[in-house]
Structure 1
Amino acid sequence: MNYTSRDYLRDDDEKTTSVAGQRSVALSNKLSGVLSVSYADSEIRDALHLLDLKNVQNTPDLRRSIRSDLQKDVIECNSSIVREFGQVAEQLKSVGSIISSLNACCEDVQRQVAAARQENLPILDEASTLLKEKDDVEKKKQLLIAFNKHFVLPEEDLMVLTATTQAIDAHFFAVLDRTKQIHADCQILLGSESQRLGLELMEQTSRQLNSGYQKLHRWIQKEFKALDLENPQINAFIRRSLRTLAERPALFENCLESFSEARRHVLTDGFYNALTGSSANSDPTMKPIEFHAHDALRYTGDILAWAHSATVSERESLESLFISEGDEMAKGIRAGRQSEPWSAIDGESFDGRKALDGLVNGNMTGVARALRQRIEQAVQSQDDSVTVYKIANLISFYRVTLTKLLGPDSSVMEALSALEDVAMSQFKALQSDQTATVQGEFTQAPVDLSVPDILEEALTQVKALMKSYESSLTPVGSRENDFKPILSQTLKPVLDSCDSLAKDLSAPAIDIFLLNCYGSARATLQPFDFTQWLVGQIDQVIASSTNNLIDYQHAFFLHVSGLHSLLIALTPLTGSDEDLLQVPHLAPFQPAALMAASQTLDEFLPSALIDALENLKRLNDTKLAGEVTSEAADRFCADFEFVETRLADVDEIVAAKEERGSSSDDDDDEDGGEENGRDPDRVKVQRDEENDKVPLRSFYPRTSGDIRVLLS
């Protein structure tokens, strides 16, 4: 603050006598100065704070003495501080003397320590060397412990791996995996300076691994003897054991051979038990297969169904046992072949599915032999060719089905292929005998021209064969060629015999008989798509016989109606006027003959269709008989139109000629009328000329429209 309170009071007294204007200016200046002071200044705040602490009262006396009072307080404070610093100085002097004493003692101790160190220096060096050696020994100890822990099996683990009294469990596989890891890690030692140690450890772990695999091999063989593949809950340790044993291909193959032999006996015994029902465990509600031995087809079907069921069950069981996710078995085989290169066969890679097919095939070998023997006996004892063929188709069905499970080269496939050949040979032999018998008994056609009984039997047999073949699994593209020999042996000889018998018949019986026979054969073969080659040949015969019947019916219409003679007379003539003028002089077109032909036509038309159909009454296909008669009637109508047209043309030409010569004819009649009346020849010529003037249509009045209506 620039002014004290006392200064302000003094100034006020001095200015009481000044002019009022100057006083007011000074006062305003002071006020401006006071108001311009910043009370936010730290010094101002500290001063005000001190005044508050002293509890100063704002009085005129106090304002006059406040400065001196404050200065007095400052002096007192300074003197108090000086006295206190004097005491501190005295204490510091005493501390300095004490520090000097301590420094002297420390120097004495240092001299003593240096002397002691000089004396103990050899001992310290020796101790340092011993401590370093101790650290080295400790490191070697830790390294040895770690090495033994990693590369050496504990005694208890070694007992689990090799001792036969110890069971195969998860601990065994853990120890085996650790031993394999040790054996693999020994290769690192071979690449270092410790080659001898690596070789010794590898030899040791190899012996331990061999002992472990031998133990595992014996345990698996033991388990296989009591293994029930029908139980879906197969021991998981067996599957794991097989995948582990696959790392030793020789032991694995030996184990599979033993297992396959055991399964072969089990399946063969199961097959004979199913045949005879002699097992104590057989279901009493299920009849043995041989109970139906009198029915060869069912007997064969039951045997093949049992074989299929056994194959599927065996494959599914072995697949769950030997085929694992991730191809673990194949990985084990590959690892084993790498460790035992001599065990690889031609360097081929292991195929799990192929190995499974081979195992199932080996297991089914005994069943295949027994199955072939039983079915072959059933086939050879049959004398019904249809039954034998159904058996052959049944065998073919199961052969195709089992091929997908066992492959084409399995023993079961060989047995089924051989059985199929035996069945087809038996069928061909029976069919040949039956054909020879038929041809010997088939000497003449039936009187009513119906289908012979022998053909009916053949068609019934062929229909049964076709239905059986239709259910087979033969590819669609090869069905026709595959079934062609069957039709050639069964139906074709009988149809050929029908052709031979038809040659001894006369028309129309020959064609009616052929249509009856071939129509029945076509109706039997048509529904099947693999018989179209023979249906095509039959269609040709039917078309030829149908045309022959149409020709016969056409000839019947011509002869019975009397139109034949007229048509024969007109056919050689052309449409020229000269040829047409000859028509009235032809014998069939003389008035009497033409009227007789017209009378014959009128008598024929009312019953023409009935009489024509009577000719085909022995034709079994009445629809075909109607179509043949209708076609013949159409031809007859066309022939009638031809005759009608020719007669109309003749009448037209004759009328034109008569008009041209009418005038000259009248003159000749007036000059020689009497003479003509007296000459008989002249009279006859005149009568003929008069007849020529009569239109031919007047003697033969029927129109083609009438004919079509009556024959429709």
Structure 2
Amino acid sequence: MVNGQGYMNDFSENFDDKFTAVPAPQKSNALSNKISTVLSASYADSEIREAVRTLDERNIQNSAETRRKLRLDVQKEVIERNGDIIKDFGHVAEQLKRIGTTINSLNECCEDMRQRVAAARQENAPVLEEASTLLGQKQELETKKQLLDAFNKHFIISEEEESLLTTTSKEVDDDFFAILKRVRQIYLDCQVLLGTENQRLGLELMDQSSRNLNTGYQKLCRWIQKEFKNLNLENPQISSIIRRALRALAERPSLFHSCLDYFAEARERVLTDAFYSALTGSITENDQNPMTNPIEFHAHDPLRYVGDMLAWTHSATVSEREALESLFISEGNEISKGFQAGKEAEPWSTADGEVFDGLKALGDLINRNVAGVSKALRQRVEQVIQNHEDPVLLYKVANLVNFYRITFAKFLGADSSLLETLSSLEESSLRQFRTVMSDTVTSIQADLSVPPSDLRIPDFLDEALNQFTALMKSYDSSLTPASSRIADFKPILSQALDPFLKACEKISKETEAPVTSIFLVNCLLAARTTLSRYDFVQPKISDLDEQLASLSSTLTQYQHAFFLHTSGLHPLLEALAPIDESAESLLRVPMLAPFQQQALTEASQTLDDFLPSALMDAIQNLRGLSSMKFAQEVTAAAAERFCEDFEFVEGKLGKVDELREERAAEVEKGEGDAEGDDEGSKKGGDAQKEEGKTEKREVVPLRSLFPRTGGEIRVLLS
């Protein structure tokens, strides 16, 4: 490339020297165009670049001779190359001639072979046809053989398999269940054969498989019954093959129920014996079990005795349910599916539309298993109920039975026979409780007399409240729903508390006030204190509060009367009762006997003597009350009413004194107006004046005779 570039540079320099040294001739159009074309050529043109690159590769020296011979050399080289190409094509033509000759020979050979093959085919056609027929027959026979083998493999069981399925001497194992499943499938698939034209094979196979199935299920049923004899439900590792056998036997509902009946009878005997052993420590009547702790020998308290029996029953029932769940309840609900399939095999064994409910069947089975325990439990608890007359014990037994009844209902269902037994025991205990309480109340009513001298609560009420406290404590620990606690305990209130309060009320009627009210208040306060610890007796507490409020009002009236009569204020109040607010009515007050000077002075002295010890004397009247706070509240209320009465008298006396002062002032004014009259009138005026002076001298303010004020009274009685 460098040489080519140098060549172009030398050419340009020589051209410039040549055309600049010579004087410029007249320009020719052709030459001018040629020069313009050369000068306008761009080195970036691809053709020029290729040309320059070619020159560079030939290592041509840039000289005048080389430039003159360049065109000739190039043309010579082109001619030589074309000659080489023509020579090569000559060799190719010669080879093609040889190939043509070979192909012609091959064509002649192929034609000869074609003729020979056609002749051989014509000669062997009958043999090939016969061979094709034989091959088709062979293929058909092989297909039939495969079908026969598949049929035998699917529908026919071997003698060894049939023996394993039907012979009782052979164990029930996984092979047995595999064969049973296969025979069951054969029986179902035989229904397809019945749809063909030839039904004989299907009927024979179905009859054979049906006999094998029935024999196999009979064997399985006997095997399960045998296993049930020695089955230990307390063992957590219960054989899985038993669970599998039960799920398989579910396809024969009649046999399944027969096994359940057998199992229920066996478990009932086992649980009854276990319960007897737990009670007495004996496995049999003459065989003592040293490993047990007999309930009857160690539970001396009746409540503990009943509780231990119920606890054992609960533990046994829970264990029974857990063990049976693993046997009869499967995750895939396989027993229910087996029963559904069993409807077709034994349509007479199940009612139309009946669906196997595993949980319900489990509950029924548990009820049957614990039936013997339920009878023994009922007998012993009823003995405890009939042999005791302690109402607290009877009620605790009822609550204990109620607790277990609610507990059992959570996993046995509402229709359980054990729940019926517990409900009957609970009702029996409550009935005995009501009988004992009724007898107690009857005996108390026969011995009713008068209240104690100190007016404390009677012994029978104290004992009844102690019993009732125990009853409430027992009820509070029960499982009674919060929504019905008040209503459910109401009968206990009416039986264990109300009769005793009514007896106290009857006793109080034999006394006089205030002993009647004080005695009743003591009884009601004791009852309220006992009830206040529990919220489910709130309505009864409200009733007691109403009765106490009524008795408080009665005692307040008594204390108020005591204040009025002891203080001497009662005659004044009675005298002022008909006096209204008119002046004429008020001016009559001084003329009333209690408001005469001597009588009013004595009333004032009586009041002064009463006030220093008034509160202590009043509270002394209620000394029989068990609550000093209640006595103080009653006395304070009575003192307040007394102060209001005193303020009423004080107000009336003040109004009377004001009216009398006004009248005295009017009399003095009348004396001054009478001085200017005549002598006769003067004499009369002197007489009136003298009379007015006399009246004025005799007027003494009532408040001066009864000087105490309402404020002083409140201070002294506070």
Same-fold call, TM cutoff 0.5: yes
Whether 2:163 is the aligned partner of 1:186: answer no
Contact 2:671 2:685 in 1 (8 A): no
Whole-Å Cα distance in 2 between the matches of residues 234 and 223 of structure 1? Answer: 11
User: Which residue in 1 is equivalent to 2:13?
Assistant: none
Whole-Å Cα distance in 1 between the matches of residues 201 and 399 of structure 2? Answer: 71
Whole-Å Cα distance in 2 between the matches of residues 275 and 462 of structure 1? Answer: 32
User: Which residue in 2 is equivalent to 1:8?
Assistant: none
Shift of 1:41: 9.2
User: Which residue in 2 is equivalent to 1:15?
Assistant: none
SS in 1 for 2:157: coil
The Cα offsets for residues 121-152 of structure 1, whole Å up to 9 and x where unpaired, read as 55544443333222221221122112222222
Whole-Å Cα distance in 1 between the matches of residues 630 and 340 of structure 2? Answer: 76
Whole-Å Cα distance in 2 between the matches of residues 586 and 134 of structure 1? Answer: 154
Whole-Å Cα distance in 1 between the matches of residues 104 and 369 of structure 2? Answer: 112
Shift of 1:320: 1.7
Code of the residue aligned with 2:226 in structure 1: it is K
SS in 2 for 1:707: helix
Whether 2:142 is the aligned partner of 1:141: answer no
Q: Bigger CA drift: 152-161 or 664-673?
A: 664-673
SS in 2 for 1:232: coil
Pairwise mapping of residues 135-174 of structure 1 onto structure 2 (< 5 A)?
Answer: 135-174=139-178
User: Which residue in 1 is equivalent to 2:216?
Assistant: 212
Pairwise mapping of residues 489-500 of structure 1 onto structure 2 (< 5 A)?
Answer: 489-500=495-506
Q: 1:396 aligns with which of 391, 402, 422?
A: 402
Contact 1:442 1:454 in 2 (8 A): no
Whole-Å Cα distance in 2 between the matches of residues 73 and 604 of structure 1? Answer: 167
Whole-Å Cα distance in 2 between the matches of residues 225 and 392 of structure 1? Answer: 37
Q: 1:294 aligns with which of 289, 300, 303?
A: 300
Code of the residue aligned with 2:192 in structure 1: it is I
User: Which residue in 1 is equivalent to 2:656?
Assistant: 650
Whole-Å Cα distance in 2 between the matches of residues 196 and 86 of structure 1? Answer: 84
Code of the residue aligned with 2:357 in structure 1: it is D
SS in 2 for 1:522: helix
SS in 2 for 1:342: coil
Task: Label 1:91 to 1:283 Cα distance change in 2 as closer, same or farther (>3 A).
Answer: closer
Whole-Å Cα distance in 1 between the matches of residues 69 and 671 of structure 2? Answer: 201
Whether 2:279 is the aligned partner of 1:275: answer yes
Whole-Å Cα distance in 1 between the matches of residues 91 and 474 of structure 2? Answer: 139
SS in 2 for 1:321: helix
Whole-Å Cα distance in 2 between the matches of residues 405 and 338 of structure 1? Answer: 33
User: Which residue in 2 is equivalent to 1:661?
Assistant: 667
Task: Label 1:87 to 1:472 Cα distance change in 2 as closer, same or farther (>3 A).
Answer: closer
Pairwise mapping of residues 686-705 of structure 1 onto structure 2 (< 5 A)?
Answer: 689=695, 692-705=698-711
Q: 1:353 aligns with which of 352, 356, 359?
A: 359
Q: Bigger CA drift: 434-443 or 355-364?
A: 434-443
Shift of 1:208: 2.4
User: Which residue in 1 is equivalent to 2:450?
Assistant: 444
Code of the residue aligned with 1:468 in structure 2: it is S
Code of the residue aligned with 1:413 in structure 2: it is L
Shift of 1:516: 0.7
Shift of 1:212: 2.5
Task: Label 1:292 to 1:675 Cα distance change in 2 as closer, same or farther (>3 A).
Answer: same
Contact 1:580 1:650 in 2 (8 A): yes
Q: Provide TM-score, normalisation by structure 1.
A: 0.84
Whole-Å Cα distance in 1 between the matches of residues 572 and 339 of structure 2? Answer: 100
Contact 1:292 1:298 in 2 (8 A): no
User: Which residue in 2 is equivalent to 1:11?
Assistant: none
Code of the residue aligned with 2:282 in structure 1: it is S
Q: Bigger CA drift: 561-570 or 383-392?
A: 383-392
Whether 2:633 is the aligned partner of 1:619: answer no
Q: Bigger CA drift: 697-706 or 140-149?
A: 140-149
Q: 2:133 aligns with which of 124, 129, 138?
A: 129
User: Which residue in 2 is equivalent to 1:308?
Assistant: 314
User: Which residue in 1 is equivalent to 2:562?
Assistant: 556
Contact 1:296 1:379 in 2 (8 A): no
SS in 1 for 2:265: helix
Whether 2:536 is the aligned partner of 1:530: answer yes
Shift of 1:495: 1.8
Task: Label 1:608 to 1:102 Cα distance change in 2 as closer, same or farther (>3 A).
Answer: closer
User: Which residue in 2 is equivalent to 1:14?
Assistant: none
Shift of 1:569: 0.6
Whole-Å Cα distance in 2 between the matches of residues 498 and 105 of structure 1? Answer: 146
SS in 2 for 1:343: coil
Code of the residue aligned with 1:547 in structure 2: it is S
Whole-Å Cα distance in 2 between the matches of residues 698 and 69 of structure 1? Answer: 174
Whole-Å Cα distance in 1 between the matches of residues 534 and 140 of structure 2? Answer: 97
Q: Bigger CA drift: 307-316 or 345-354?
A: 345-354
Code of the residue aligned with 1:242 in structure 2: it is L
The Cα offsets for residues 193-217 of structure 1, whole Å up to 9 and x where unpaired, read as 3433222222222222223222222
SS in 1 for 2:587: helix
Contact 1:595 1:700 in 2 (8 A): yes
Q: Bigger CA drift: 641-650 or 526-535?
A: 526-535
Task: Label 1:182 to 1:692 Cα distance change in 2 as closer, same or farther (>3 A).
Answer: farther
Q: How many residue pairs were aligned?
A: 677
Task: Label 1:85 to 1:369 Cα distance change in 2 as closer, same or farther (>3 A).
Answer: closer
Q: Bigger CA drift: 196-205 or 695-704?
A: 196-205
Q: Hey, which bits of structure 1, 4+ residues long, moved more than 6 A?
A: 19-22, 31-37, 39-42, 58-93, 95-101, 280-283, 665-670, 672-676, 685-688
Q: 1:634 aligns with which of 640, 656, 659?
A: 640
Q: 1:344 aligns with which of 350, 364, 375?
A: 350
Q: Bigger CA drift: 465-474 or 191-200?
A: 191-200
Q: 1:565 aligns with which of 566, 571, 577?
A: 571
User: Which residue in 1 is equivalent to 2:3?
Assistant: none
Pairwise mapping of residues 678-689 of structure 1 onto structure 2 (< 5 A)?
Answer: 689=695
Task: Label 1:80 to 1:277 Cα distance change in 2 as closer, same or farther (>3 A).
Answer: closer
Task: Label 1:295 to 1:102 Cα distance change in 2 as closer, same or farther (>3 A).
Answer: closer
User: Which residue in 1 is equivalent to 2:393?
Assistant: 387
Whole-Å Cα distance in 2 between the matches of residues 649 and 103 of structure 1? Answer: 167
Code of the residue aligned with 1:145 in structure 2: it is D
Whole-Å Cα distance in 1 between the matches of residues 569 and 342 of structure 2? Answer: 102
Whole-Å Cα distance in 1 between the matches of residues 470 and 541 of structure 2? Answer: 17
Whole-Å Cα distance in 1 between the matches of residues 97 and 451 of structure 2? Answer: 165
Shift of 1:428: 2.2
SS in 2 for 1:661: helix
Whether 2:468 is the aligned partner of 1:462: answer yes
Task: Label 1:670 to 1:550 Cα distance change in 2 as closer, same or farther (>3 A).
Answer: farther
Task: Label 1:73 to 1:485 Cα distance change in 2 as closer, same or farther (>3 A).
Answer: closer
Task: Label 1:563 to 1:132 Cα distance change in 2 as closer, same or farther (>3 A).
Answer: same
Contact 1:512 1:618 in 2 (8 A): yes
User: Which residue in 1 is equivalent to 2:19?
Assistant: none
Task: Label 1:125 to 1:84 Cα distance change in 2 as closer, same or farther (>3 A).
Answer: closer
Code of the residue aligned with 1:418 in structure 2: it is S
Q: Bigger CA drift: 702-711 or 183-192?
A: 183-192
Whole-Å Cα distance in 1 between the matches of residues 358 and 714 of structure 2? Answer: 83
Q: Provide TM-score, normalisation by structure 2.
A: 0.83
Shift of 1:112: 6.2
SS in 2 for 1:264: helix
Contact 1:513 1:619 in 2 (8 A): yes
Q: Bigger CA drift: 32-41 or 510-519?
A: 32-41
Contact 2:282 2:289 in 1 (8 A): no
User: Which residue in 2 is equivalent to 1:410?
Assistant: 416
User: Which residue in 2 is equivalent to 1:605?
Assistant: 611
Whole-Å Cα distance in 2 between the matches of residues 80 and 692 of structure 1? Answer: 186
Whole-Å Cα distance in 2 between the matches of residues 69 and 514 of structure 1? Answer: 154
Pairwise mapping of residues 202-241 of structure 1 onto structure 2 (< 5 A)?
Answer: 202-241=206-245
Whole-Å Cα distance in 2 between the matches of residues 333 and 85 of structure 1? Answer: 94
Code of the residue aligned with 1:148 in structure 2: it is N
Code of the residue aligned with 1:661 in structure 2: it is V
Contact 1:439 1:494 in 2 (8 A): no
Shift of 1:62: 13
- Unaligned 5+ segments in structure 2 are 1-21, 61-65, 676-680
Whole-Å Cα distance in 2 between the matches of residues 258 and 510 of structure 1? Answer: 72
Task: Label 1:657 to 1:129 Cα distance change in 2 as closer, same or farther (>3 A).
Answer: same
Whole-Å Cα distance in 2 between the matches of residues 227 and 135 of structure 1? Answer: 58
Code of the residue aligned with 2:173 in structure 1: it is D
Task: Label 1:72 to 1:133 Cα distance change in 2 as closer, same or farther (>3 A).
Answer: closer
